[in-house]
Amino acid sequence: MNGRGYGVQFGPPHTPQVIKNLILANVVVFVAQNFAPQVTNFGVDVPALVWSGQFWRPFTYMWLHGGLLHIAGNMFMLWMFGSSLAAAWGDQRFLRYYLTCGFGAGFIIAAMPYLAAILGMGSPAEMRSATLGASGAVMAVLLAFSFTWPDRTIMLIFPPIPIKAIWLIPLALFLEYAAPAAHNISHLGHLGGVFVGWIYLLNEGRTPGAPTLQSLGHRYRRYRMRQKLRSVRNEQERDHHRWRQ
């Protein structure tokens, strides 16, 4: 990462204790999954089971992972972006945010198929689908990082290009939809984490970079105004060109 006042470096200069504890907890649960498969069956987020009374699942799913690459990717992102955030926020504030967003994403994963079924728009397969992983919470961490330091330059590994932190979430969502194994990715969980994180930051009011609906509307109106001015300018240039002919 690189930013104002920072040299080029790989990863954060310091790993706060809350990040170490979260990574350790995920690793311990992952080891338990491999020795006792019933751990996974007990904790995955399955809408049909949640609404039959197993209300712990929107919380427990975020500690489970489907394979070594799955947990390695999530923990790497948590360490890479969560460390700076936890150092700036403090351990308690970061932990509240992480757990709230992870649970919120899990609730959305369980609620949306159930709501769709009530409205006659869903399918039985969606109610029985199982979701696991810390990705919803990790996406919320990326969101908070991008709002806190929007101009910080991040050098990606795949693809190897530098981008501003504010583009982390749009790029991450684009890459996951374009991935060959996109059907195995919980898009609803990722979007749920981003949505809950955004609402949390707005309600907390301690992250100035978090856009409000009013600021988004203002940016959209400015964008529309620039488009109109560009159209008028192009029309004037065409008229001038025709006049010269």
Segment 96-109, tens digit of pLDDT? 999 999 999 999 99
CA dihedral (18, 20, 24, 25) in degrees, to 10, reads 10
Give CA angle at 140 (114, 63), nearest 5°.
Answer: 70
| Residue 237 pLDDT level (bands cut at 50, 70, 90) | confident
The pLDDT score that the predictor gives to residue 176 is 79
Measured CA to CA, the distance from residue 45 to residue 64 in angstroms comes to: 10
pLDDT of residue 6 exceeding 50: no
For residues 125 and 97, the model is more confident at: 97
Mean pLDDT of 106-128: 91
Mean pLDDT score of the chain: 88
Measured CA to CA, the distance from residue 134 to residue 32 in angstroms comes to: 16
CA atoms within a 13 Å half-sphere pointing along the CA-CB vector of 165: 24
